[in-house]
Chains A and B, each alone.
Chain A
């Protein structure tokens, strides 16, 4: 014990700080390299010895990334993700209210089902979903993909919102009702305002998942004009003209990842608590 106490703590902290910085550098390096590549000139990129700082700044990568389909594809992603998140927030909020605020037969099985469906791999659903969408004539349409994304946005939203609603004390809406509010008023004036932050962050994370989704988007959406941003990036990277245009690829990757990176870093603290809270409550 005394040996432990007397150990040179400050030296140890300095040592661990150094280790932590090395870890941070290693983990952060791929992102740094992506950013660096976007501002490197082609001459720098094919240099025999890659440099860790650009010899001069060159932003032409961004214009080379914005090929004919880029804008349209990015817009598709915006429409699809906002559409599916808007629908699933409404649908999911209702279900989350039901499981968090009501006692009814079938409540437990429903919660378990919502947990289980989230483990079913999307790609296996897709095998059966494609013929269904095909017979509904929804292949290649934004609507088709919006509906497909509900498969994962709705369970996620129900699951996460549920924990937020459970966190709002029932006594609050009871008090409002004692003071003369109807049920609907109590919900609108008491529960909803308290739930707003939860709704926003849940919506943001459902949106991020939809934004990043790839397999469904690739198989459900049609030709070049119709793709989503993520699918666009994979096609851009494998065309003959851009296959080795790494600065263009990195610029495109950065642009389509930027909204996610920004929103994620703003909202993450809520996610990590929500995720683990939900997980622990099981």
Chain B
């Protein structure tokens, strides 16, 4: 009874002052109208292709069947899935991708935090210099970066070998960094990816660190905390949300690295260099096994989402405990 009575009066109170959102309150259909173009574009250029991709995953489509013998194309259920999932190469690629991504994320986060902390304790001129360098690094397109680093690590005239030779590693002159895919991927490509990832991470973390209230740090110091303890017990907890976001972003970026590997191996990465993006490209576009490519795409999205969900839940749990 009272509820029924209350309703109209509430409505009266709410409706007269249009205190809500400026320019455009009334006209219930207007916001939907505004969304139409983007929804249409994203549905046709992304939603529908993703559906097509999933459908492809349940077919047996490849170049030959598509162009030479279309009658052989059919829906084969999970057959393509099982043939990919039973291929040791697939699991090898997945493992390599996860290990390599973890290495890249960990390295870039650690180095970025060190450099961000460094930025906080140097003179202004040094800070400006370092930030300027970081900006130029950040601005480099990945295709260009890969091309430049392939030249740096060139085994005949590359400068890295020469520098190592100069500082005393005489045997490193004309060292071929790419001969062993493990060295090529885990050392050389990692160095490119970390190098390219640092600027964003450093500047974001540095901005976060400057927002840590100095009173808190002072207080901790007065209470006898060492700089390291201040960092661990004051700065880090405040930075945690930012650390979580930057780690998640790093994972998303590093997990799907393609351009750097592609350019460093000059458009033909050997199997030892296949992370999931490269593997997908090779199967789907180089060998034109479209359905295989679709299955790998599904796997790529699933693995990425799994890791992200796991990671976010893990972070939330830690957050709950504190």
8 shortest interchain CB distances as A-B pairs? A128-B53, A128-B49, A173-B22, A264-B139, A128-B52, A124-B297, A102-B31, A98-B34
Q: In chain A between 157 and 216, which residues have their CB closer than 8 angstroms to a CB of chain B?
A: 158, 170-174, 177, 183, 186-187, 191, 211-212, 214-215
Q: Does B231 sit at the interface, judged by CB under 8 A? A: no
Q: Known interface pairs A123-B256, A128-B294, A129-B45. Does A243 touch B266 (Cβ–Cβ under 8 Å)?
A: yes
- How far is A21 from B122 in the complex, measured between Cα atoms in Å? 10
Asked whether B263 lies within 8 Å of A124 as measured between CB atoms, the reply is no
Q: Does B30 sit at the interface, judged by CB under 8 A? A: yes
- How far is A171 from B301 in the complex, measured between Cα atoms in Å? 43
Asked whether A31 lies within 8 Å of B140 as measured between CB atoms, the reply is yes
Q: In chain B between 261 and 317, which residues have their CB closer than 8 angstroms to a CB of chain A?
A: 262-263, 266-268, 277, 280-281, 284-285, 290, 293-294, 297-298, 300-301, 304, 308
Q: Known interface pairs A191-B23, A211-B141. Does A20 touch B35 (Cβ–Cβ under 8 Å)?
A: no
6 extra interface residue pairs, beta carbon distance < 8 Å, beyond A24-B133, A30-B145, A124-B50: A13-B121, A20-B122, A102-B30, A128-B49, A212-B141, A244-B156
Chain A residues with Cβ below 8 Å from B224 are 1
Q: Known interface pairs A24-B129, A124-B53, A268-B135. Does A103 touch B20 (Cβ–Cβ under 8 Å)?
A: yes
Q: In chain A between 77 and 124, which residues have their CB closer than 8 angstroms to a CB of chain B?
A: 90-92, 94-95, 97-99, 101-104, 107, 110, 117, 119-121, 123-124
* In-complex Cβ contact of B21 among A16, A31, A150, A170 (8 A): A170
Chain B residues with Cβ below 8 Å from A104 are 28, 31-32
Binding site for B on A (CB under 8 A): 1, 4, 12-13, 16-17, 19-21, 23-24, 27-28, 30-31, 33-34, 37, 45-47, 49-50, 90-92, 94-95, 97-99, 101-104, 107, 110, 117, 119-121, 123-129, 131-132, 147-148, 150-151, 154-155, 158, 170-174, 177, 183, 186-187, 191, 211-212, 214-215, 219, 230, 233-235, 237-238, 243-244, 246, 249-250, 253-254, 256-257, 260-261, 264-265, 268, 272-273, 275-276, 279-280
B218–chain A nearest beta-carbon distance, Å: 10
* In-complex Cβ contact of A237 among B54, B241, B263, B293 (8 A): B263
* In-complex Cβ contact of B135 among A158, A238, A257, A265 (8 A): A265
Binding site for A on B (CB under 8 A): 18, 20-25, 28, 30-32, 34-35, 37-39, 41-42, 44-46, 48-54, 56, 115, 118-119, 121-123, 126-127, 129-130, 133-145, 147-152, 154, 156-157, 159, 162, 195, 198, 200, 203-204, 207-208, 221-222, 224, 226-227, 241-242, 245, 249, 252, 255-256, 258-259, 262-263, 266-268, 277, 280-281, 284-285, 290, 293-294, 297-298, 300-301, 304, 308
Q: Known interface pairs A95-B34, A101-B22, A230-B141. Does A150 touch B119 (Cβ–Cβ under 8 Å)?
A: no
Chain A residues with Cβ below 8 Å from B54 are 128
- How far is A59 from B226 in the complex, measured between Cα atoms in Å? 55
A-B contact pairs, 15 of them (CB 8 A): A13-B121, A34-B144, A110-B35, A119-B304, A120-B301, A121-B300, A121-B304, A123-B256, A124-B298, A127-B280, A233-B144, A234-B262, A235-B267, A261-B139, A276-B208
